[in-house]
Chain A
Amino acid sequence: MKTKWYFFFLTTVAVSAILYAFPGFKADEPAEIGVLMIGENRLEKFTGLENGLKDLGYSNKEIHFTVKNARDDEELLDKQIEDLLQTAPDLIVTLGAIESQRLKAELDKKKITIPVVFAGLAAPKELGLIKDYKSPGGMFTGINNYHASISGKRLEMLTSLVPNIKKVHVIYDSKIDVSKISLKETRIAANALGVEIAPCDASSKECLDRLWKTGKEGEAILILPSFRIESLTEDIVKLTEEKKIPAMGLYDFEVEKGLLASYGSSFHSQGYQAARFVSLILQGNKPGELPVELPDGIRFVVNQQTKDALGIRYNEDLLKLAELVHPDAQGGRNP
C-alpha cells in the first residue's frame, strides 16, 4: 500500500517536473511588429528601420514585420490599420504623420493600447500624438524629423545657397496639419530673414498651374512636408527645370529626381533612428517615458546637375555642408 502511494507521489512529481522542464525547451517567439506606410516612397524608412535593428543586434529570430502599404490611398490606409490591429502586434511603427494620426484615431476609437513608434514625422506635439517631447506620455513616441520646425531654417538655407533669390514660393498642403504648421514656421523665418514668400497650397491643382504661369528667374520654391506634395515631386522638378527656378525640398530622393537642394532628415536615417525606439520598447520601456528624438542627422543635399541646368550661382560657404548629387557635373562648383 505504501509502495502505491509512493508511486502516486512519484508520478505526480515526475509529470510536474516534466511540465516544469517543458518551458526550458520552448523557444522565444519573435516580437510581432506592424509597419504602416502611406506609400511606396516611404519604403526607404522601412529599410532604415530594418538596418537599424540589425545593427542593434536583432535578427529575424527576434522580430517579425507585418508591413502594410496603403499605396498613397488614405481609405486603404484605414482599412489596413484595422487589419493590422486585428493581428494584435506587439508594436506598430508608423512611417509618417498621416499614418500616425490615422492610427491614433483608430486606437483611441477602439481603446486599444499598443506601443507606437513614429519613424519620423514633423511636429508630433502639435499633432496631438504626444504631450511633451521629453515625456511623451501615452503610447506614442519616435522621431520628430523636425521638418516643421526646420522649415524656417530651410528657407534660410535656400536663400543663403542662392543669394539672388527675391521671392520664394512656399508649396504646402492645407489638408495636412504638419504642412500648415510648417508654413507658419516659414512665415516667421521669412520675417526674420526679410525674405518674401508666396504660399502655394498643393492640395488644389491651381497651385502648380499658377507657378507654371507666374514662375520666373529670381524666384525659388520651398517645399513643405506633405505626402501629397512628395508625390508631386516629379511635376515640381519639371517646373523648376522649365522655369529655371531653384527649389528646396526635404529629402535626398527629391534632389536625385532633379530639385536643386534638400535639407532634412532622410527617410533611411529616420527609419534607422526609429529602430532604437523599437529596441527600447521591446526591452521593456514604456513609450510614454521615451523622449521623442530629433533626427540624428540633417542632410543638406545639392544637385550639381540641376544647378548647372538652372545656370545659377550659389554661396560656396554652404557647399562645405552639402552632399552633392552629380558632383562631377559640368560646371561644378562656382569658378
Chain B
Amino acid sequence: MKAMIDFMQSQPIRNKVLVFGVAMSTIPLLLISIFYYSFVKADLETRIMEKQHLVLENLSREIEVEFSQTFQRIQVLASLHLLAEKQTALYELLQQNESVEEVVIADDKGLVEKRVSRFDLNITGSKEQWFTDDMWFQLQTREKVYGQVAFNQYGQPVMKLAIPFYENDTKKAVGVVVQLQKIIGKISSMRQDHSSYIYLVDDKDRVIAHQDYSRIWQKQPSTGEDVIGVTAKINELNWTLVMEQPKMTAFAPINRMLQSGIGAVALLILTVSLISVWAGLYFTRPIVSIDREMNNLKQGRKISPVKMRRTDELGKLADSFNDMSKELLEKSRLLEQEKERLDVVVNGIGAGLALVTKEYQITWMNPILTGWLKEDRLSLPCYAVIGGESTPCQNCPITCPDMDKIADEVMKFKDGANGERLFRHRVFPLNHAIEKEGEFLVVLEDITEQKQMEETMIQTDKLSALGIMASSFAHEVNNPLATINVYAEDLIDRIQAGDEDLDQDEMEHYLRKIKENTERCKRITGNLLNFSRKNDWMEDHIRVREIIENSISLVEHQLKKQRVQLELQIADTLPVIRGDGLKLMQVIVNLINNAVDALENEGRLVISATTTVDGTVSIKVIDSGHGIPAEAMDKLFDPFFTTKPIGKGTGLGLSVCYGIIQQFGGTITIDSKPEEGTTVEIQLPAERMQSEELAMGNQARNPA
C-alpha cells in the first residue's frame, strides 16, 4: 500500500488526473453494480425456489392423485362386488384409467382367475402367479399394496398395485399394472427454463425419472455442482421429487447482464480515460511548461517565456512565472556583477578575510589571508591559526557577544615570514550568517607600512618643528653662553690683574653663574634632544601640566620674539592620562607653532587644560590670529595640506596631531573664525582611579 502511495505520489499530475477520472467514474458504477447484482441475485434465487416449489407441488399432487384414484376405483369396484361379475368392471377400470395396462383377479392362493389387458390377450395362464411374494405377503395384512417399479417386456416402467377383497368369504385380490411412462415422461421431458431439471427418486433411492436419461435407475445423483433446488415428498409411495437448477445457469441472466455491464464499463473507462487525459493535459500543460522552463532556469540554460492563451489561474501563474523569471535573471545578472565586484574587492583589498564560527572554527579564508598564513590549517581555532594563541583573544566579540563597540578595534600581532609585522585584526558579527558556515567575519589588515609611514610622518613633523624652532634654540642657548663667556672673561681678567677684591665668595659667585647658565643650556639642549628623539609609542602616566610646560619651554623664545602674550589656564586638579607624553608634547608644540604663525606679531595665546563633565581632560589652544578660511576647514587634517606660505609648513602637523590623538583614544576639534582666531580642543580620556593621587602630587609640587 505504501509503495503504491509512493508510486502515485511520484507520478506526474497528468497521470494523477487520469487515475482520478477513471476512479471517480468506475468506482461508483462498480459499487452500484455490485449492490444491484447482489440484490438481484438474492431475489432471483428466491423466485426460482418459489417457482420450483410450485412446479413440484403440482407434479407431486398429480402423481398422488393418479395413484389414489386408481386405488379408489379398485376399492369401489371391490366393495360393490362388481369384480366377480363378468369383465365389465374390469373394462370399465381400463377405460377410467388410461395408465392401467392390465387388471387381474387372483384367487386366495394368488393364482390369476381373470385378466383384462390393454395390449395382450385376456387369456390367463395355468396357475399363473401374478403377485410377487412380497406383494402377496403384504396383501395379507394391508389394505393396499404398492409393488416395485419394474419393466415390462418392452422396457416400459410399470408398477403393480393391489388390494385384497372378499368374495363369498374368500379372500381374493385384484391387481393392476400401472404404466409409469407417462408420469416419468412428463417429468423428464417437461421443458424447464435455464437448465432446470426435475427427477423422481423412488423409495430405494433410485432415480426413476430424470431429464437426463443416462441417470435413470441410478442412485440419487450428486452432480457436485452448486445448485438451487427444492424437494417434495410423495408420502404414499415414499418417492421424492427433486427440482434443481445449477446456479451457473440460474444466474445466467444476471451474469449476462454483468457481462454486458463489463463491456459498458470498459467503454466508459475508455471514454473517461480520454476525457481525463484531455483534462489532465489541459490542466497540466502550463505546469509542465513552467516546470520545464524552471528547470532550464535552474540549470542556467536559456529560457523562453511560457505562452498560453488563457486568463485563468494557470494563465496568471504563467504570466507571473514569466515576470518572475525575467526579474530573477536580471537579479542574477546583478548578483553576478556584484559577486565579481566583491571577488575583486575581497581578493584585491589587500586585507585578509575569514569566516569564523562561534566555535572559533575557520570555514573560509580569502587567498590573501591564505598567503599570509602560508598554511591551511582550517581545523584549528582561529586564534591559533591567526594569532598563534592558545586561548581566544580577550576582547574578541565571539567570546563576548555584547562587546559590539570594540569589534573592530582588537589588534593582534603575528610573526610573518618577513620578520615581525603588524596587523589590524577586526571581527564583525554577521547578522544573516549561514549557520555553521561562519557567523563572524574576521578582517586582517597588514598595517606595518602604515605604521612606519605614520612614524616617519611624526618624525618629519618633529624635525620640521625643530627646524622652525632652530633659531630660537640657538638664541636661547646663545644667551647663557654669552653670560658664561662674560663671567669667565671677567674672572680671568681679575685673576690676571690680581684683583685683591676677588675673594672666595666672589669666585663662588662667578662660578655659580657659570654653572647656572651651563645648566640652563643643558636643559635647553636636553629638551631639544628629547623632543627630537625618534621613539616608539611609550605608554606611561602623563601629567598634562608638565607636558604643557615642557612644550612651552621649547617655543618660549619664539613667543617672546614675536611678542605673543601667553596665558596659561591650567586647572589645579587635572587627572592623569595614559599614553606617550612626548607624543602629546609634539601635538602641543605643533598647535602652539600654528598659533604663533597665525598671530604673526603680537597677539594673545591662551593654553588651557580643564576637566570636562564627562571626565575627560580638555586641552585648548586658543589664539587671536587671522583664523582659517572656511573652505580649508574640511581639509585641515589631510596630510600635506597647509595654508601657510611655502617654506613655513610641511602640511603634516595637524595630520600627525590627529593620528597621535587617535592613538590616545581622544578627539581633536578645530573651531575657527576668520579674523577672530582659532580654538583647537583636544579631549583625552583620563585614568580616573589614579587621578586623585596624581592631583595631590601636583598640589604638593606646586603649592601656590
Report A's interface with B, CB cutoff 8 A.
Answer: 2-3, 6-7, 10-11, 13-14, 16-18, 20-25, 56-58, 62, 132-135, 144, 146, 149-150, 152-153, 156, 160, 189, 192-193, 273, 275-277, 279-280, 283-286, 289-294, 296-298, 316-318, 320-322
Partner of A279, one of B151, B154, B191: B191
Contact B190 A21 (CB under 8 A): no
A153 in contact with B266 (CB, 8 Å): no
| Interface pair B262/A17, CB less than 8 Å apart | yes
Instruction: Determine if B266 and A320 form an interchain contact, defined as CB atoms under 8 angstroms apart.
Output: no
Q: Is B172 in contact with chain A by the CB < 8 A criterion?
A: no
Can you list the 5 inter-chain pairs with the closest CB atoms, starting with the nearest? Answer: A21-B263, A134-B155, A57-B191, A276-B189, A17-B266
Q: Does B571 contact A (CB under 8 A)?
A: no
Name the B residues within 8 Å of A62 (CB-CB): 191
**Total chain B interface residues with beta-carbon distance under 8 A:** 56
| Closest chain A residue to B256, Cβ basis | A24
Report the bound CA distance from A132 to B153 in whole Å: 11
Interface class of chain A by DSSP: helix
A292 to B152, CA, bound (A): 12
Contact of A317 among B88, B257, B261, B264 (CB under 8 A): B88
CB-defined contacts of A286 to chain B, threshold 8 Å: 213-214
Query: CA of A284 to CA of B189 in the docked complex: distance in angstroms?
Result: 11
Residue interface mask B141-158, A partner, CB < 8 A = 1:
000000000010011100
| A289 to B218 Cα, complex, angstroms | 14
Q: Knowing A21-B260, A283-B211, A296-B182, say if A149 contacts B119 (CB, 8 Å).
A: yes
CB of A321 within 8 A of CB of B94, answer: yes
Given contacts A18-B266, A20-B259, contact A280 B189 (CB under 8 A): yes
Residues of A within 8 A of B88 (CB): 316-317, 320
CA distance A25 to B262 in the complex (A): 13
Assuming A17-B265, A56-B189, A273-B185, is B213 touching A153 (CB within 8 A)?
Answer: no
**B127 within 8 Å of A by Cβ?**
no
Stretch at the interface among B267-275, B555-563, B584-592: B267-275
Beyond A7-B273, A297-B98, whether A17 also contacts B263 by CB under 8 A is yes
Q: Which residue of B89, B179, B213, B260 is within 8 Å of A290 (Cβ)?
A: B213
Q: Does B485 contact A (CB under 8 A)?
A: no
**A/B pair count, beta carbons within 8 Å:** 150
Chain B residues with Cβ below 8 Å from A16 are 266
**B277: interface (CB < 8 Å):** yes
Does B87 touch A at the CB level, under 8 Å? yes
Q: How far is the CB of B85 from chain A (nearest CB, A)?
A: 9
Contact B119 A298 (CB under 8 A): yes
Asked if B119 contacts A10 (CB within 8 A), the reply is no
Contacts of B15 in A (CB 8 A): 2-3
Residues of B within 8 A of A (CB): 14-15, 18, 86-89, 91-92, 94-95, 98-99, 117-123, 151, 154-156, 179, 181-182, 185-186, 188-193, 197, 211-214, 256-257, 259-267, 269-270, 273-274, 277
Complex contact A20–B263 (CB within 8 A): yes
Quote the shortest CB–CB distance from A14 to chain B (angstroms): 4
Q: CB < 8 Å: which of B87, B182, B188, B269 contacts A10?
A: B269
Let me know if A284 and B154 touch, CB within 8 A. no
Choose from B18, B98, B260 the contact partner of A296 (Cβ within 8 Å).
B98
Closest B residue to A3 using CB positions: B277
**In the assembled complex, how far is the CB of residue A16 from the closest CB belonging to chain B, in whole angstroms?**
8
Assembly CA distance A317 to B269 (angstroms): 81
B54 to chain A, nearest CB (A): 14
> Contacting B121 at CB < 8 Å: which of A21, A153, A285, A320?
A153
- Residues of B with C-beta under 8 A to A273: 185
Q: A283-B191, A318-B91 are in contact. List 8 more A-B contacts (CB 8 A).
A: A3-B277, A10-B266, A14-B270, A279-B189, A285-B214, A289-B213, A298-B118, A317-B87
- Which of A10, A22, A133, A296 interacts with B270 by CB under 8 Å? A10
Q: Check if A294 sits within 8 Å of B121, measured CB to CB.
A: no
Contact A134 B263, beta carbon cutoff 8 Å: no
How close is A230's CB to chain B, nearest CB, in angstroms? Answer: 21
Task: Determine if A153 and B117 form an interchain contact, defined as CB atoms under 8 angstroms apart.
Answer: yes
Q: How far is the CB of B255 from chain A (nearest CB, A)?
A: 8
Distance in Å: Cβ of B243 to nearest Cβ of chain A = 14
Nearest chain A CB to B184 CB, angstrom units: 9
The answer, among A133, A189, A285, for a CB contact under 8 Å with B155, is A133
23 contacts between A and B (CB under 8 A): A10-B270, A13-B266, A14-B266, A20-B262, A21-B262, A24-B259, A56-B189, A57-B190, A57-B193, A146-B154, A149-B119, A156-B122, A192-B121, A193-B123, A276-B188, A283-B191, A283-B211, A284-B212, A285-B213, A285-B214, A293-B181, A296-B181, A297-B98
Known contacts A293-B156, A298-B118, A317-B88; A279/B190 CB under 8 A: yes
Pick from A13, A21, A285: contact of B212, CB under 8 Å: A285
Write the nearest CB–CB distance from A261 to chain B, whole angstroms: 14
Contact B270 A294 (CB under 8 A): no
Q: Which of chain A's residues have a CB closer than 8 A to the CB of B264?
A: 21
> Which residue of the partner chain A has the closest CB to B155?
A134
Asked if A24 and B211 make an inter-chain contact with CB atoms under 8 angstroms apart, the answer reads no
- Tell me, in angstroms, the Cα distance from A291 to B211 when the chains sit together: 13
Q: Which residues of B contact A276 (CB under 8 A)?
A: 185-186, 188-189
The closest CB in chain A to the CB of B121 belongs to A156
Q: B211 is contacted by which of A277, A280, A297 (Cβ under 8 Å)?
A: A280
What chain B residues lie within 8 Å of A3 (beta carbons)? 14-15, 18, 277
**A250 nearest CB across to chain B (Å):** 14
* Chain A residue nearest in CB terms to B101: A294
Q: Which of B154, B188, B192 is within 8 Å of A294, CB to CB?
A: B154
Chain B residue nearest to A283 in the complex (CB)? B211
Q: Which residue of A lies closest to B190 (CB)?
A: A56
Q: Roughly how many angstroms separate A18 CA and B265 CA in the complex, as a whole number?
A: 9
Q: A3-B18, A285-B214, A292-B154 are in contact. Are A320 and B95 (CB under 8 A)?
A: yes
Residues of chain B within 8 A (CB-CB) of A10 are 266, 269-270, 273
Q: How far is the CA of A13 from the CA of B88 in the complex (A)?
A: 77
Are A24 and B257 closer than 8 Å at their CB atoms?
yes
Q: How far is the CA of A132 from the CA of B98 in the complex (A)?
A: 25
Given contacts A18-B266, A280-B188, A320-B88, A291 and B213 within 8 Å (CB-CB): yes
Residues of B within 8 A of A297 (CB): 98
Best-buried of A13, A132, A146, A279 by chain B (most CB within 10 Å): A279
Complex interface: chain A residues within 8 A of B262 (CB): 17, 20-21
Give chain A residues whose Cβ lies under 8 Å from the Cβ of B95: 320-322
A321 CA to B695 CA in the complex, in Å? 172
* Residues in chain B near residue A132, CB distance under 8 A: 155
Q: Of B92, B99, B185, B189, which one neighbours A320 at CB under 8 angstroms? A: B92
A286 to B213, CA, bound (A): 8
Q: Are B156 and A294 neighbours in the complex by a CB distance under 8 Å?
A: yes
